[in-house]
């Protein structure tokens, strides 16, 4: 199965993604059918289960979206089952050093390029995809989250690691690490982001970021990030979109309640 996200990144095109926390296969399928290029199943901040994640991977498999699992940590043993279930990429939190980036990138690939152990299940269509091994390494996407001052200090060498396909700036945790929580206009935060952009351009890696704040229902907020050179955009997800929609509806109908 084509990795739509990887194809878009290689072509320099914009990839739009969302993150899911509620564990619902129906919601995962809905997001894929809505046209999102990639969908992240969040197992770092949500009570996901392996069985539940596989069900969501199966639902996303009914669409053209690329399924990505956000890990609890950058750990090869934790990644392996989700790769075997059919995840086409990993979003790894708090990747701060070159050795951590190499560890994560290697976990997604079979030897000699990596260290992944062989045992695909759904990923190889339960044995019907006899060519899975041959194309598996080239069909994976490893995305570290840049969200700590240590990562900023190591950013040039970190993004140069072979197998780091792109990255996502985690603005909330990064701002907290910098001592300016949620102040995305602070000079310290902006300077850190500039360092990431400079390193990405030097390494020729596509740039990604999670987007928070502003009116998320207008195109201008996304255009600003595209104009800055980002091609991988992570835009909310099931929790935020339901929250925002409920608030908008309640605000609209509040006047008729008397």
pTM assigned to the model: 0.96
Known catalytic residue at 45: yes
How do residues 131-172 score in pLDDT, each as one tens digit? 999 999 999 999 999 999 999 999 999 999 999 999 999 999
Q: How confident is the model at residue 258 (pLDDT cuts 50, 70, 90)?
A: low
Q: How confident is the model at residue 255 (pLDDT cuts 50, 70, 90)?
A: confident
In the three-class reduction of DSSP (H, G, I as helix; E, B as strand; rest coil), residue 28 is classed as helix
225/232 Cα distance (integer angstroms): 10
> Which structural domains are found in the chain, ordered by start?
4-256 (3.20.20.60)
Q: How are the residues of the chain apportioned to helix, strand and coil, as percentages rounded to the nearest 5? A: 50, 15, 35
Average pLDDT in the 186-197 region? 98
Which residue in 13, 45, 194, 224 is the catalytic one? 45
Q: How confident is the model at residue 13 (pLDDT cuts 50, 70, 90)?
A: very high
Instruction: Mark 231-242 as b/e (b = at least 16 C-beta within 10 Å).
Output: bbbbbbbbeeee
Which segments of the chain does DSSP mark as H helices, in order? 4-10, 25-34, 50-60, 76-85, 98-107, 132-136, 149-153, 155-159, 171-177, 187-203, 220-227, 238-253
């Amino acid at each position: 199965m084509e990795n739509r996200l990887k194809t878009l990144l290689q072509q320099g095109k914009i990839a739009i993604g969302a993150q899911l926390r509620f564990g619902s296969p129906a919601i995962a399928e809905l997001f894929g059918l809505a046209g999102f290029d990639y969908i992240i199943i969040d197992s770092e901040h949500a009570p996901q289960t392996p069985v539940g994640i596989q069900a969501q991977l199966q639902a996303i498999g009914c669409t053209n979206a690329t399924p990505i699992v956000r890990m609890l940590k950058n750990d090869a043993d934790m990644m392996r089952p989700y790769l075997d279930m059919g995840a086409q990429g990993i979003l790894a939190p708090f990747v701060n050093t070159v050795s951590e980036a190499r560890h994560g990138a290697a976990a997604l690939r079979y030897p000699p390029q990596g260290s992944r152990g062989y045992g695909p299940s759904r990923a190889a269509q339960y044995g019907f995809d006899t060519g899975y091994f041959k194309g598996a390494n080239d069909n994976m996407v490893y995305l570290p989250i840049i969200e700590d001052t240590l990562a900023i200090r190591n950013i040039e060498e970190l993004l140069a690691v072979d197998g780091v396909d792109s990255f996502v700036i985690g603005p909330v945790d990064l701002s907290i690490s910098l001592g300016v929580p949620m102040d995305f206009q602070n000079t310290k935060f902006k300077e850190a982001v500039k360092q990431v952009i400079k390193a990405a351009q030097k390494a020729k890696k596509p740039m990604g970021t999670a987007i928070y704040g502003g009116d998320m229902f207008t195109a201008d907020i996304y255009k600003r990030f595209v104009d800055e050179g980002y091609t991988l955009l992570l835009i909310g997800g099931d929790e935020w979109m339901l929250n925002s929609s409920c608030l908008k509806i309640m605000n609209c109908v509040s006047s008729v309640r008397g």
